[in-house]
Amino acid sequence: MGPQHPSTHGVLRVVLKLDGERVIGSECVIGYLHRGVEKIAENRTYQQFAPYVDRMDYVAAVSNGLGYCEAIEKLLIVEAPPRARVIRTILTELQRIASHLLWLGTHALDIGALTPLFYCFREREEILKILEKYCGARLTTHAFRIGGLQYEAHDTFEKDVERFCKDFESRIVEYETLLTNNRIWIGRTKGVGILTAEDAIAFGVTGPVLRASGVKWDIRKAMPYAAYDQYKFEIPVGTTGDTYDRYLVRMEEMRQSRLICLQAIENIPPGPIMAKVGKVLKPPPGEVYHAIEAPKGELGYYVVSDGTVQPYRVRIRPPSFINLQAFDRMVRGHLVADVVAIIGTIDIVLGEVDR
């Protein structure tokens, strides 16, 4: 299946070894979107590199930015003010919902249901409007700065987010009626692309794919960052680890993110939005690894600084790339038609896979 295939998200080439209709083995050829982000980082200052981070997982740019900024703040041993942390949490959770909506739309389209795509995009539009109002850009937002936020929350911020969360509840029910107990949807997804818990851990898979296989691991709970420790929310966990479980886990995650946003909206603490960080950042030599829970899985930043203005090395742990390794195990023994469903269910974004 060539790189410009209609159902591979972006430019992913999959070489399938077939026995008639069944897939025996598969091999993903990637690298079509490789831009050498990590090499570029080595001759950019810390602030200059921040916009590059958004271009990786262009579907969830805000959470990339959050990961990078918090990693550098850890390096500088600086703490973002509480107000900044809460606004960051709200924006990341909104971005998570938007990313899951895009996943649901394209996944359903691959399996044949035409309508959910337009419902999901209608909601995603609302979120992008809020992001645009806040930081001027819809997709590659560059919303955060090292040490806090650049812009104060616009005046109607609370009202917009609240209005969105209010009617999103009924919208999720809309998707569920369309898909969840639809016999054909279940037929196409149940028992397809099974990934057992041991395999998931062995492959180092993270995020909804890991939780669907029954492993209860979410960085927001395990190593809370930003303002996640102040809010109550559950972590949905699946049982068999097939496409249908991943679908349920992600739908539940959307609901939880909505709850987080609602809790966060009640009390956004007043105060400054930017910590005292100089114009020129010269972090002390040393290294740091900071991971956050991106919509696709654990997004980690390993930054080594040699005391100068530019980082010595920035290593990014992309969740999509690692989840993709489990693709071969999942696709074995299935029919060619299921390959499309499996690519959809891992929810990979090629920008992040190729970096």
Contacting positions for other proteins (CB under 8 A): 1, 5-7, 21-22, 24, 108, 110-115, 117-119, 122, 178-179, 182, 184-185, 187-188, 191, 332-333, 335-340
Question: Minimum CB separation from other proteins for residue 343, in Å?
Answer: 9
Question: Minimum CB separation from other proteins for residue 19, in Å?
Answer: 8
Question: Minimum CB separation from other proteins for residue 332, in Å?
Answer: 7
Token couple for 9: 């998200």
Q: How far apart are CA 175 and CA 170, in angstroms?
A: 9
CB of 173 or CB of 337, closer to other proteins: 337
Tokens 């279940």 sit at which residue?
A: 186
CB of 260 or CB of 339, closer to other proteins: 339
Say if CB 135 and CB 142 are below 8 A apart. yes
Question: Minimum CB separation from other proteins for residue 315, in Å?
Answer: 35
Say if CB 95 and CB 128 are below 8 A apart. no
CB of 207 or CB of 344, closer to other proteins: 344
Q: Write the burial class of residue 325 (CB in 10 Å: 0-12 exposed, 13-18 middle, 19+ buried).
A: middle
Strand partners, 16: 26
Question: Minimum CB separation from other proteins for residue 110, in Å?
Answer: 7
Question: Minimum CB separation from other proteins for residue 123, in Å?
Answer: 11
CB of 5 or CB of 255, closer to other proteins: 5
Mind giving me the DSSP string for 221-275? HHS--TTGGGS-------SS-SHHHHHHHHHHHHHHHHHHHHHHHHT---S-SB-
Which runs of E-coded beta strand occur in the chain? Answer: 13-19, 22-29, 144-145, 148-149, 286-294, 297-305, 311-317
Strand partners, 151: none
**Residue type present at position 126:** E
Q: How far apart are CA 87 and CA 153, in angstroms?
A: 8
CB of 38 or CB of 174, closer to other proteins: 174
Question: Minimum CB separation from other proteins for residue 141, in Å?
Answer: 26
Question: Minimum CB separation from other proteins for residue 342, in Å?
Answer: 11
CB of 41 or CB of 111, closer to other proteins: 111
3-class DSSP state of 73: helix
Token couple for 166: 């209010």
3-class DSSP state of 303: strand
Q: How far apart are CA 270 and CA 148, in angstroms?
A: 14
CB of 72 or CB of 179, closer to other proteins: 179
CB of 313 or CB of 332, closer to other proteins: 332
What is the CA angle 348-116-113, rounded to 5? Answer: 85
